[in-house]
Chains A and B, each alone.
Chain A
Amino acid sequence: MKHSAIRNLTWHPQGERLNADIERAVTTHADTSPSTNFLVTTTPPDLTPEDEAAVPQGEGVPEPLVLSPAPTSAIEEAIALLRIAAEVEGSLLVQYLFAAGSLLSGVNINVPGFDHPIQTDDWYDVIRSIAKQEMGHLITVQNLLLSLGALPHLDRENLPFTSPLYPFPFSLEPIGVVSLARFVAAEAPRMVASADQPDYADAVSRAGAVVGIIPRAGQIYERLFWLFQDSDDPQEPWPTLKNPFPDWPHWHVEPSKVGLNQDRQASPTEWRGSGDDDGPDTAVYVLQIRDNASARKALYAIGLQGEGPVTEQGVTHFDKFLRIYRELRAAAAQPAAPPYARNQASDPRTGLGGRQTITDPASLLWSHLGNVRYRLLLIDIGLAVSIGQAGALPSAKATGRDLTNWAFQEMIAAIKPLSEELRQMPLQSGNGPTELRAGLPYELPASDLPTSISEQIAYLRDGIAEAKQLRERIEDTLNPTPKQKGILKVLANIDSAMAQKLG
């Protein structure tokens, strides 16, 4: 039965369930003793006039964050924060993909005050590129966890609940002013340039009206960088960094505890990533961790790509989302502007509980298939970074390299084409072509995903079998189009190869 805290997808190399002492739970209750409370606010204490304008003006301090059990060392805190970072990355990238997928292609809107036509294709390319970069961040976070001797963590916040470190509750939203406002707020740097502050404040206000205060995701990485410093003194490559949680313990990760599991860490070659010498605009950082210095470089690269600082404007996620926000807000305000997004459901669900439940039979079958592929993707990634490229699964012929390949096949041959099909399919039975479209729900199961390697291998086998059943039902009952048949055929080939290696 799922607990109310964040679901974990963690496992032990020997197949044992994760030690409960290390397992983190986040509550929204300030019920632990003051000595172990690490209160988090989104208001840094040393404000400057610029900062003041940048900080979200909400209804007050959000619920205090309690790490339970409270970390007793810098490394424990780092591991806890890295798990949160992994969940944030996994959560954001899926929401970015969903939003990008809701865009209509080829729409150009001329808006007064802009010296260029505003293009949905541009938005689509930029947001998908950001999502891919978030995937790189997710993989790099796994390397950071491995380097500390911790297990990979591929969980994703799945229940709507608040946490001072989560930007906003997970919710698949089609592109719109408010959904973009959320992204702007989540990716905000600590210091927002004066010229950007009015639009940033507007985004924060719009998003806040719906989801409340949105903490910056970047502060997780800022704190992590600080933890990997040798001391409280500023350190390269982020000498301007300020500790976002100055009330937390002033401890730092011991160098001797960093750099483990280098044979298992994901490499940019395996994961089609970029090295840290590639520029942040288009690089997909997959960085390996050898020591504190490389950990700082990796955290800085992630932080830089998300929020800055960079010497060149327009390359960070914040800059890109803010630019799109401005354009979309202006386009949406044009009375004669053409539609730029589909009539896409918000938060589609295959079962009860979602604001908009998928009931069209065809959409439902394809959605189930999409959900299965998404879960297979997460398991593939987790197992791949758990055993390393040279590793092999016990009681199966599959290697770490196989798992990495399968993960990419899920992304390229399954998730992308299935999401493209589903965004055109009706949400509910009888919906006409202009009524709500479904979209890929990216649902995780009601029960926790398995946590041991043996259970995960079994889960992959079950997933392949379930996918086969769904494919056959689609083929037999839905009269798929030639394009859809092509998708199903490729998936069948992938599943056949997986089944051969998994036994």
Chain B
Amino acid sequence: MGTVYKIHPAIGVARVGNHPTAYFVGPEVPGMSGMEIGTGGAETPIRHYKQEGKIKRQAARFRIFRYQEAADGQLQLLGEVTANDAQIEWRVNLVNRKAALDHNPAPSHPARPRNTDITDRESLVIRGSQPVVISGQNQSAREIRGQFLGTEVYLGEVRTDPGGRLLVLGGRGHSESVPPGEDLPEFANNDRWHDDVSDGPVTAVISLPGQEPIVAHHPAWVVVAPPDFAPGIDSIITLYDVAFQAAIEKGALRPDPVPSFRRHIKPLIERAAALRWVNSFNKWADLGTIDWSVLADTGPANAPARAKVAKRLQRPGLRDFIMPAFMSQYVNQWAAGQFISDLNDSDLQVPIPDQLDRAALDACVGNNFFPGIEASINLRDKDMYARPFRLDHTNVGKVYPGCLTEIMAVPWQADFRDCDGGVWWPSQRPDIAMTDPHNIPASQSPWEAPIPEGDHQGMVDHVLQLGFIVGTQINGQIVFLEVDRDPKFPREAQIAATEGGGSTSSA
């Protein structure tokens, strides 16, 4: 029995962006947007994901929570520990080891050994000389820089907020080859190329007044990922669902014996319905006009309606789509009428730490991993975890700085170019964008136009100029429209000639 200190979220997610200073904190409440921290520390929901035409970075914010451990091992939440309560010394180690990948994660996974002709493998790993340390309130940025084949690469920075909570920011969305001009023939494995995503451990030492410093018992992990260009739209299956399934397989969690319509089924349907704004309006439009009272009814008369939607959820037509077993069980139970009909009940009260864990992962793709957007198949592996949603830092064979992002596409922009066609991750990398609120769905346009098919270099050069798909209220309804597309890069623009490969990402 004693006091246990945990860092939440267990896995935090930051995202790259090319604005030099502007950033926002990623989602911390499930279903809600991120927050911007104004002068004086006031926090407001983010409204614009670009500023002066450049993408704001998403910061991952980490907090310390204190628990009392009971005799039976159960932990009771006591509350957050901030810089007002203790000195908190944060330690972050961001690493990008994509170019040094030396294995194929699975036979059907696209990542494979890279730069196999370079024997100095360390020269391919981008990391700071040592983990960065930061402590105190409102601390300014401590940068993390590494080297790639002798060229300096900015990986990100750490700061603290007014409460001394850790803020991790990633790179600028910058990708290039060393030397410049290398070809970009593939969507996932391009030798001599690097980008500036990363991942690594987040640990903390807590010093309460008059007490010996304590290392946080449950450390966390941070992933720096590409931008989410449709931030209000989540994938049907999220990384939270993937991690939840892993926790079940590890015996650490159990699914509910009977699913709740409100908590388990309705969100699934809503996420599928939202794909009409980023995938194909016609294909998903029928899920946008649902009579919830019908689907929430357990009666046999509504079984056909439930079965029809269940089939849509389990077979959405996305490539390599896998619904975690527990979710599939929930959907089957719901279709069979064996569920809790709690459509209009109040939401359960969820402790803040759990909300932090969930909100971070719910905004990440878990449908399919080829290789994915934020992370990939290794998050399905139960042995990656020490506890639900929390990676096992002691399993150094599987969990090491850079382990999550190393099997992602390099550079990520090449994958973004090829992963269109409506079968991959439209919730992060839209297939379509609605451009006219008064002309839906006819104003549906290819999101990535005019970047031609197969033009990986074009995506490196221009992806940050593309628009965000954001929800807005029009005539009492929420519609998702494209905003903040660079006016200097209209859909009818002709890509400037780029001979061969190499070069920097767009400004």
A490-B455 contact given A121-B280, A122-B283, A409-B185, CB 8 Å threshold: yes
Residues in B whose Cβ lies below 8 Å from that of A268: 107-108
CB closest residue in chain B, given A487: B452
Residue pair A486, B317 in contact (C-beta under 8 Å): no
Residue pair A269, B441 in contact (C-beta under 8 Å): no
For chain A, the count of residues having a C-beta within 8 Å of the partner chain is: 49
**Contact residues of B with A, CB < 8 Å?**
104, 106-112, 183, 185-187, 280, 282-283, 286, 308, 311, 315, 317-322, 370, 418, 421-423, 441-442, 444, 449-455, 457-458, 492-495, 497-500
CB closest residue in chain A, given B370: A272
19 new A-B contacts at CB < 8 Å, known A116-B286, A314-B311, A489-B495: A106-B442, A106-B444, A115-B308, A117-B282, A119-B283, A129-B423, A267-B107, A269-B109, A269-B112, A270-B112, A275-B108, A278-B108, A282-B317, A282-B319, A282-B321, A409-B185, A412-B453, A486-B451, A486-B494
Residues in A whose Cβ lies below 8 Å from that of B104: 269
Which stretch from A91-99, A163-171, A347-355, A493-501 is at the chain B interface? A493-501
- Identify which of residues 264-302 in chain A touch chain B, using a CB-to-CB cut-off of 8 Å: 267-270, 272-275, 278-279, 281-284
A144 to B497: give the CA distance in the assembly, Å.
Answer: 42
Some 17 contacts from A to B, beta carbons below 8 A apart, are A106-B444, A121-B280, A125-B280, A274-B108, A282-B317, A283-B320, A315-B315, A409-B185, A412-B454, A413-B452, A416-B453, A483-B449, A485-B494, A486-B451, A486-B495, A493-B457, A493-B498
Residues in A whose Cβ lies below 8 Å from that of B423: 125, 129, 282
CB closest residue in chain B, given A282: B319
Fill in one digit per residue for A393-426: 1 if any B CB lies within 8 Å of its CB, else 0: 0000000001001101100111011000000000
Residue pair B453, A402 in contact (C-beta under 8 Å): no
Quick one: which of A119, A121, A282, A417 contacts B320, CB cutoff 8 A? Answer: A282
CB closest residue in chain B, given A120: B282
The 10 closest A-B pairs by CB, nearest first: A413-B454, A275-B108, A486-B452, A482-B494, A405-B185, A268-B108, A412-B454, A490-B452, A490-B455, A282-B319
> Separation in Å of the B189 CB from the closest CB of chain A?
9
Is A108's CB within 8 Å of the partner chain B?
A: yes
Is A126's CB within 8 Å of the partner chain B?
A: yes
Residue pair B452, A417 in contact (C-beta under 8 Å): yes
Residues in A whose Cβ lies below 8 Å from that of B183: 497
Residues in B whose Cβ lies below 8 Å from that of A490: 452-455, 458
A272 to B418: give the CA distance in the assembly, Å.
Answer: 12
Fill in one digit per residue for A104-120: 1 if any B CB lies within 8 Å of its CB, else 0: 00101000000111010
Residue pair B282, A282 in contact (C-beta under 8 Å): no
Residue pair A493, B106 in contact (C-beta under 8 Å): no
Residue pair A409, B454 in contact (C-beta under 8 Å): yes
CB closest residue in chain A, given B494: A482
**Contact residues of A with B, CB < 8 Å?**
106, 108, 115-117, 119, 121-122, 125-126, 128-129, 267-270, 272-275, 278-279, 281-284, 314-315, 402, 405-406, 408-409, 412-414, 416-417, 482-483, 485-487, 489-490, 493-494, 496-497
A409 to B455: give the CA distance in the assembly, Å.
Answer: 9
Residue pair B454, A278 in contact (C-beta under 8 Å): no
Residues in A whose Cβ lies below 8 Å from that of B320: 274, 278, 282-283
> Separation in Å of the A109 CB from the closest CB of chain B?
11
> Separation in Å of the A121 CB from the closest CB of chain B?
5
Residue pair A272, B110 in contact (C-beta under 8 Å): yes
CB closest residue in chain A, given B368: A282
Residues in A whose Cβ lies below 8 Å from that of B185: 402, 405-406, 409, 497
Residues in B whose Cβ lies below 8 Å from that of A412: 418, 453-454
Residue pair B106, A413 in contact (C-beta under 8 Å): no
A119-B282 contact given A282-B320, A314-B315, A417-B453, CB 8 Å threshold: yes
A376 to B453: give the CA distance in the assembly, Å.
Answer: 18
Interface centre among B109, B321, B454 (most CB of A within 10 A): B454
Quick one: which of A269, A281, A405, A497 contacts B107, CB cutoff 8 A? Answer: A269
Residue pair B441, A106 in contact (C-beta under 8 Å): yes
A417 to B451: give the CA distance in the assembly, Å.
Answer: 12
A121 to B457: give the CA distance in the assembly, Å.
Answer: 29
